[in-house]
A and B are shown apart, each in its own frame.
Chain A
């Protein structure tokens, strides 16, 4: 199988430059990095890809068993890195991809130079002595809501993207890709994302890491970001002056600056 085709891998930037790999989170695809990735193209080889089931990936490659755990996605990432035969890369993972990067780096540390974890959460569900931000009932409600929003995920999201009368060119550009996810796969990806517990994987990582945390984030609250920082040996943490779970869209210039500063240090 061609893993580059499978994951819709695109490589831009300076050929031979140090590689930086951007991994999108739950809910969208590689276009999440549209305001961040271009800033690195002058000096870096920039690798973007879609997880299987999202964006322009090969939906036929979705394997319900392999992709029922984040390990399957981490294996996909390692296969992509293998196929590109890159020197150790900077891996920038947003949301669930932060943990996918953690798993991949724990497995094959020689492939990674740095990890940048944007809004990471090793476990979304509260546990004894741990606050993830959601109760198990709330996650069940999410899954039920996702089932309720079946039409919302499939039919409603598309017109929502298309229906921009003032900016038709934008709509057309985004129609085919932005946040396009097969609804059945999105449902399973939601289970995989929100029911995983990867706290025990954090101490396995030896790759230096930067945690980027929004000031407020209901999906991955600041205390969860701190938890990740405290359990990742040799990590740094930067709190961004923005709110919400997607600083790569709401405050891209802060994300670019924080990553650039970290890599320059």
Chain B
């Protein structure tokens, strides 16, 4: 019966398809349309259900926006971080953690960004980047390095400081992109550039040293050049040049700063070509081709910021300086020979005569250490004429010294008695036609008449003589000028001029080294000489030349060699007439005393001579003039020289009267005062003559028997 509920076709029978328990019934859980059936779209396990992980709206579905943004952050090829403004890491992506080899919990909340960088980057961050970020609120592409388990990773860092969300809190977003290739490339560029700069710096320092050494003259010049260019410019605070002496030992020659000692001695055994670092000192051997010339001892800069010394630069400096010292030694030897020759040529015999005095100074050139062919000469031409010459041969060194010697001899040879200065120069013109090296030499030649003080002089292209009068202002003598020797303009006639000297007047001859300076004109130099010489007239001749050269040359700018000659005329004989009434005796005593003092007589000698002369005059008046007041006595005082090798100066006083008298006995002599005279002067002679009687007093000018 289908109507019976248990009949399978009855609708209430469980097997009936309409029965709810029948699997095909829609309410049956296994029916696909039942909501709990897994294939039903609303069932959570159905792929189209939103909570199903494969559903696109499910948060874990890869296409869900949150999931993909986080994924992009984590998997970004750049390392990304979020920081607090103080640098503490708030978040970091997987890339950063992978680079740093750290887990998230090692980093977030505990580390700062700078703690992830190498120490250089850390300090760069703290001192530069953090301040900039705070001021600028951003950084772009800064090169720093991240510490990784595999070493440093070069990155470029960009960062912005911004507010987080809607709140007032600020955060820093940082992106680090790997810059390995770019960094390698840059480093190669940097390394190349730094190497180029280093080479350039070294080259420049070495060039400065080389240039200074090549200009240096002599051993001291080399030492000074080293101290100037190889101490401070190469990072040392003090330096000393030690030089090998003749005994082979080292001694300090020149220093800048405190003397740098050599440790440990003996240094020569320690060093064989390479600079050696001894404590703070760098010892640079200065080795020539065959010998160790010395050591440049440097105190290296001790400041914390000082860079380490460059041994190869110092090695090169030592080699250069060693060769420079080779040259300097050779040069000094050669210059020494030339100077010796020059001095021996200048040291010849010079005349002695009490009627004139002279003084000279010769200084070899400073800059080149070389003699320059300057000379002076003093010789007599005839009994009463003294000739002086100062000249200058063009050129330097041995050649100039030899030419100077020839020309100097030639002047003596052609300056015969009676040949004036202009004629002497004309003869020298012919001489230098034959002697090439002496051509265009300049010279000044003066002839002083010792009797009357008249000077004839001529200048062949030479600086003018300077007249220094005993009283009054000095002045240059611009007369008698003509061209240098061998230089002929139109006529071969040479001019000359004259000047009259008074007693005690002086004539200064000199070479151009005394007045020429690079930085001043010749006129200015002559003015300086004039003003320097003016106050010196109270000094003796030698003091004058030494004061002049001292004042003019010790300014450190003198370069050329210098020759100076000062000629002083002592003045004529003293000749006076004294009337028989003896009114003129007092003035005579004074004048004679002054005359003797001018000639260098000591006070006691002068007093003795004045006493003797007074006695002689009184005697002459009494015995020679017969008491006739219209008669007079002639007194003449002169200097002469004693016989014998010393040729000591001797005073000769002659008292002449018109009478004829003779001392016959000792008592006569006493009566005539001869005893007094004999007691105080060396020799007293009475000489009768056709016109009267002469009494001659002879006495050594400077003590002792003549």
- Which residues of A does B touch, CB under 8 Å? 25-28, 32, 34, 64-65, 67-72, 95, 134, 138-139, 141-152, 156-157, 159-161, 163-164, 167, 170-171, 174, 178-179, 188-197, 216-219, 242-246, 249-250
Contact = CB atoms under 8 A, between A and B. Distances in A.
Interface of B: 85-88, 112, 114-115, 118-124, 126-128, 130-132, 134-145, 186-187, 189-190, 193-194, 232, 235, 237, 301-307
B305 A195 contact: yes
B143 A68 contact: no
Contacts of A193: 304-305
Given A151-B186, A156-B141, A25 B302 contact: no
Given A179-B131, A188-B305, A250 B86 contact: yes
Given A143-B120, A144-B120, A145-B124, 18 more contacts: A26-B127, A28-B131, A64-B301, A72-B303, A134-B119, A139-B119, A141-B119, A142-B123, A145-B118, A159-B140, A161-B136, A178-B132, A218-B122, A219-B126, A243-B112, A246-B127, A249-B134, A250-B85
B190 A95 contact: no
Given A27-B128, A69-B303, A142-B119, A160 B141 contact: yes
Given A65-B301, A243-B87, A178 B135 contact: yes
A250 B136 contact: no
B235 A65 contact: yes
B140 A160 contact: yes
Give the residue among A71, A147, A148, A250 with the most B Cβ atoms within 10 A.
A148
Contact of A159 (B114, B137, B141, B189): B141
Which 6 residue pairs of A and B lie closest in terms of their CB atoms, listed nearest first?
A145-B120, A68-B303, A192-B305, A27-B127, A69-B303, A195-B304
A145 B138 CA distance: 23
Contacts of A143: 120
Contact of A151 (B135, B143, B237): B143
Contacts of A34: 135
B28 to A, nearest CB: 67
B135 A174 contact: yes
B235 A28 contact: no
13 contacts: A26-B127, A32-B131, A68-B306, A141-B118, A142-B120, A142-B123, A160-B139, A161-B132, A174-B136, A189-B305, A216-B86, A246-B134, A249-B135
A218 B115 contact: yes
Give the residue among A141, A144, A160, A219 with the most B Cβ atoms within 10 A.
A160
B136 A244 contact: no
Nearest to B114: A218
Contact of A243 (B86, B124, B189, B307): B86
Contacts, number: 158
A65 B145 contact: no
A68 B142 contact: no
B237 A191 contact: no
B27 to A, nearest CB: 66
B128 A138 contact: no
Contacts of B115: 218
Nearest to B130: A244
Given A149-B120, A161-B136, A246 B126 contact: yes
Given A32-B131, A151-B189, A218 B142 contact: no
A67 B87 CA distance: 33
Contacts of B88: 243
Nearest to A63: B232
Contacts of A32: 131
A204 B501 CA distance: 76
A158 to B, nearest CB: 11
B197 to A, nearest CB: 8
A244 B126 CA distance: 6
A188 B307 contact: yes
B141 A244 contact: no
A167 B136 contact: yes
Contacts of A190: 305
Given A141-B119, A244-B87, A156 B142 contact: yes
Contact of B126 (A160, A179, A192, A245): A245
A192 B304 contact: yes
Given A151-B143, A156-B142, A160-B139, A250 B305 contact: no
Contacts of A174: 135-136
Contacts of B87: 243-244
B86 A242 contact: yes
A72 B136 CA distance: 32
A150 B198 CA distance: 14
A234 to B, nearest CB: 27
B138 A65 contact: no
B131 A246 contact: yes
B136 A152 contact: no
A193 B131 CA distance: 18
Contacts of B130: 244-246, 249-250
Contacts of A157: 128, 142
Given A146-B120, A244-B130, A245-B130, A191 B305 contact: yes
Contacts of B86: 216, 242-244, 250
Contacts of B303: 65, 67-69, 71-72, 192
Give the residue among A156, A191, A192, A193 with the most B Cβ atoms within 10 A.
A156
A119 to B, nearest CB: 9
A188 B307 CA distance: 8
A34 B193 CA distance: 36
B136 A170 contact: yes
Contacts of A147: 190, 194
Nearest to B88: A243
Contacts of B190: 147-148, 150-151
Nearest to B136: A164
A41 to B, nearest CB: 20
Give the residue among B115, B138, B143, B189 with the most A Cβ atoms within 10 A.
B143
A69 B143 contact: no
Nearest to A68: B303
B176 to A, nearest CB: 14
Contacts of A163: 140
Nearest to B134: A249
B119 A145 contact: yes
A181 to B, nearest CB: 9
A167 B190 CA distance: 31
